[in-house]
Chain A
């Protein structure tokens, strides 16, 4: 069974790095199969940014995500653009400071979408003092909710992927996301 994750935000948030961490955790450390793709606009910073990760025990042939099982939203623009692709009874994870889900409440109700709201940017800024690790806080949230990748593997993947010297901050960010009280 292939699980499909799409993460949408804007350039500079580290959206693509979060996809890389998840894909690396799944393949190199959990020994599953994964493909990660990304798309971005022509802008160097601030344009729309999207990454998609497929995770499966079987070989992944077609690498693009048509209707994700899990949609992670880091900008209001991404919410408006991608929510309709989400599978019925799919999972929607949103940073409520960046996107407002009330505008799609009909869609959520009709499709029985499982919604989680976590202020990852606020946590990164206020608890860790580093706004740019919001993406890794979100990776913690995704790890907890989806259970697609193991916590140890994600931590290894973070150490393997983030710039040298920032490992501690990023692992702290991951813990904040993973331990966030979803109730």
Chain B
């Protein structure tokens, strides 16, 4: 009895040290219980704190889908845009004001199906955005359709006999396109994930972090992984670190989730280049918030 009473008096901050970053008037979230997005948000906020990023200077941009609802719950400036196009809105926002820290929350469908073109061009330009792509291998918000990352054989409402498509490897995609920081973890690796998010935030260029995440409601239910625990267990069992994976053959890697940091290289960044061009041609950097000046 005494125990229970004590529980009632635990503050929000004690339950979750990151609650201070939330728009409390918007809680609870729309996410299903057991969804991997919660773990991702916590890892993101931990990474943000350890990268020493000013939360007040943070702008979150997203498209459409479950993962794209994240910015709406965090108490910073947030731009919830059209399906697939977050990268282009974020590009304009970052060029318009390079002093902002711009982070994009997206999912497998948003980033690599409808938004695939914008994704590779943002990577090519190496614009300083940090993209957190929560990959649950399915369309959650519309009720469980097959996605471009669904492994072959995945059961989905639009793949009733199992997916016959070849999935994208998002890491290979953005690496080939020129991203200067690329990492992947699963929701079974929250600590590693937060460290990689920190490194991505600190990279002055295009950073892409894939979070392999569970959707127990649709992916799990359709594919004999009904509980969040069984999905996370599957991630743990099938994950293999990049260093070890490098020594294995393609056949040996079949069905494995390779995790780690894949790319971390210095390369010219776009918003800086535009600022520099302005300096050369006009004698000063681009004027911030000029709409209020003239």
Are A and B in direct contact (Cβ within 8 Å)?
Answer: no
Which B residues are within 8 Å of any A CB, using their own CB?
none
Which A residues are within 8 Å of any B CB, using their own CB?
none
